[in-house]
Amino acid sequence: MNAATRTTFKPKGIIPAMITPLTAEGKFNEIAARKLVNYLIDGGVHGLFIVGTTGEFYGMTPEEKKEVFQVVMDENKGRVAIYAGTNGITTRESVELTQLAEECKVDAVSVLTPMFITPNQEQLIKHYTTIANNTSLPVVLYNNPPKTGINLAAATVAKLAEIPNIVSIKDSSGDLTLTAEYIRLTQGRDDFSVMVGRDTLIYGALCYGAVGSIASCANVAPRLCVDIYEKYMAGDLKGALEAQFTLAPLRIAFTIGTFPSVIKESLIMLGIEAGSCMEPVGPMTQEEREKLRQVLNGMGLLK
């Protein structure tokens, strides 16, 4: 399937990078996932990003990913846009997963740069071009060099933005200068947008012209994350910045445990079933949990 024309799909707002709830046996917990979908949508989010880094995509088979796609699509019932992670080390793997996501009728896919291998920028352009040419879905580029060791250069993103169905990028580099360069080099084009993936930089990225954030912290505090975006868009810059500062301790607390355990442990503390992380990521220690509890208390999230 080749997307010959520019898609009208426009990502925006706060999109939680949703965890994948697991049972005690380490299997996908469908009941918990359905509850989480509703918790997030009730929190005012503008989309859901499933089977991404926070969703532990790296530990799932294609069949397991398909199950998550189908369950979330079924529970969502068209209320918000669904973005599916179709990340692979090879182009072939990403194409196959993207086509699998398309069969499940998701709204868009997000494709992380390859990991473990180190392709150059020309090879990355070819990688994403091939993926885009093999689907009619909107494609969101995903840059996360702290996790993959690969960085999508601003000039590379500007070139990829010319492809009709490549519509956005999620930048989790934590480098606001790079995020701003993505925006600067693609400005004036309402068919391509930039989202930030570092939750401490949502407000700053919006100031530069980003359209929103794919945020891990939105699992735990969806309304707070939404406040940053909606207050900013309404012109309440003071309120948006206050919400950003309130959120910051949670994102900074990610270092307390091995990712994504802080997100799952936070949800459990809020009374939301999340399960454990995929091994070898183990549970947080009692001392680590207490530190996290103090953070959540300080944010006013625990009753």
Three-state secondary structure string covering 48-78: EEECCCCCCHHHCCHHHHHHHHHHHHHHHCC
Q: Is 147 among the catalytic positions?
A: no
Phi first, then psi, for residue 100 (nearest 5°) are -65, -45
Indicate which residue of 65, 66, 159, 170 is catalytic. 170
User: What does each C-alpha distance from 277 to 26, 267, 284 come to in angstroms?
Assistant: 8, 12, 10
The percent of the chain in helix, strand and coil, each rounded to the nearest 5, is 50, 15, 40
CA 156, chain centre distance (Å): 21
CA angle 23, 295, 284 (to 5 degrees): 40
Distance CA 274, CA 76 (A): 18
Q: Is 54 annotated as a binding residue?
A: yes
Q: Is 83 among the catalytic positions?
A: no
Tens of pLDDT, residue by residue, the chain (303 residues): 444 455 789 999 999 999 999 999 999 999 999 999 999 999 999 999 999 999 999 999 999 999 999 999 999 999 999 999 999 999 999 999 999 999 999 999 999 999 999 999 999 999 999 999 999 999 999 999 999 999 999 999 999 999 999 999 999 999 999 999 999 999 978 899 999 999 999 999 999 999 999 999 999 999 999 999 999 999 999 999 999 999 999 999 999 999 999 999 999 999 999 999 999 999 999 999 999 999 999 999 997
Tell me which CATH homologous superfamily contains domain 13-245. Answer: Aldolase class I (3.20.20.70)
Distance CA 225, CA 215 (A): 8
Q: Is 131 annotated as a binding residue?
A: no
State the DSSP H helix or E strand holding residue 30, giving kind and residue range, or none if neither.
helix 30-42
Domain locations in the chain? 13-245
Question: pTM for this structure?
Answer: 0.95
Classify strands 166-171 and 108-112 as parallel, antiparallel or unpaired.
unpaired
Indicate which residue of 128, 142, 229, 232 is catalytic. 142
* Structure token pair of residue 97: 């997963």
